[in-house]
Every structure is written in C-alpha cells, then in structure tokens.
Structure 1
Amino acid sequence: MMGLPEGWVVDTPGITRPAALKALGNGVVRQQAAAALRLLWDRMPTEARLPATATSTSVAA
C-alpha cells in the first residue's frame, strides 16, 4: 500500500501492531516523495541544477 514490500513493518519481530501503525503513520510515502522531487526538478531553472554525477564532495565552496 505504501510502496513497501509486504510485511515490511508488521512482520518485524518484537514490534506491536500499534507501534507498527505509528511507524507507518510517520513515514513519507515513497511514491509521493519521488513525484514531488520530479515536479520540483522540472520547475527548477536548468542553470541552477547540478550535474547528475555531482556529489557534495565535488562541489566547490
């Protein structure tokens, strides 16, 4: 339902059902986060984008 593999939370040993539901309730739905990032990326001016291969260590300060 949230894009997680079946049993991802509820089959975790030692976690109660209420605790599992609380953990899921505090999570960001991965598909929604990915859609939001794509939307924001498309709205960002091309000159403001870093190359896809850039990392935080390769960006000059």
Structure 2
Amino acid sequence: MGLDPQWVTDPALALPRTGALRVLGNGVVPQQAAAALRLLLCPHRWAVPA
C-alpha cells in the first residue's frame, strides 16, 4: 500500500491481527490519494473553453 514498514504491525502498538486489518481495511493508498488531489486541483482540467 506504500506505507512505512510495520505501519500497523509494530510490536510497540500491540495490535491484534484483527485490529491491524481493521485499521488497514478502509485505508487509502497514499499514492492514489496524491494522484487524485493532483487531478482535482489542476486548473487546466476544469477550465471552461471559450
């Protein structure tokens, strides 16, 4: 998913497997979110032709 190693599996977090899966379940892939924001914020994409 592009997250740092041990994002939810770090022993210091003490998350059970079900908890780790729940945290990741509704996660957004950071690279996908960045691409979506670039597309949405591009002024040329939303320019109305004259």
Aligned to 1:23: 23
Choose between structure 1 and 2: higher helix proportion.
2
Secondary structure at the aligned position of 2:13 is classed as coil
Structure 2 Cα separation of the partners of residues 9 and 34 of structure 1: 21
Q: Relative contact order (alpha carbons < 8 A, sep ≥ 6): 1 or 2 greater?
A: 2
* Structure 1 length-normalised TM: 0.60
Identity %: 59
1:31-46 paired onto structure 2 within 5 Å: 31-42=31-42, 43-45=45-47
Deviation at 1:26, TM superposition (A): 1.4
Return structure 1 stretches of 4+ with deviation > 4 angstroms: none
* Structure 2 length-normalised TM: 0.71
Structure 1 Cα separation of the partners of residues 3 and 9 of structure 2: 11
Gaps of 5+ in 2: none
Gaps of 5+ in 1: 46-61
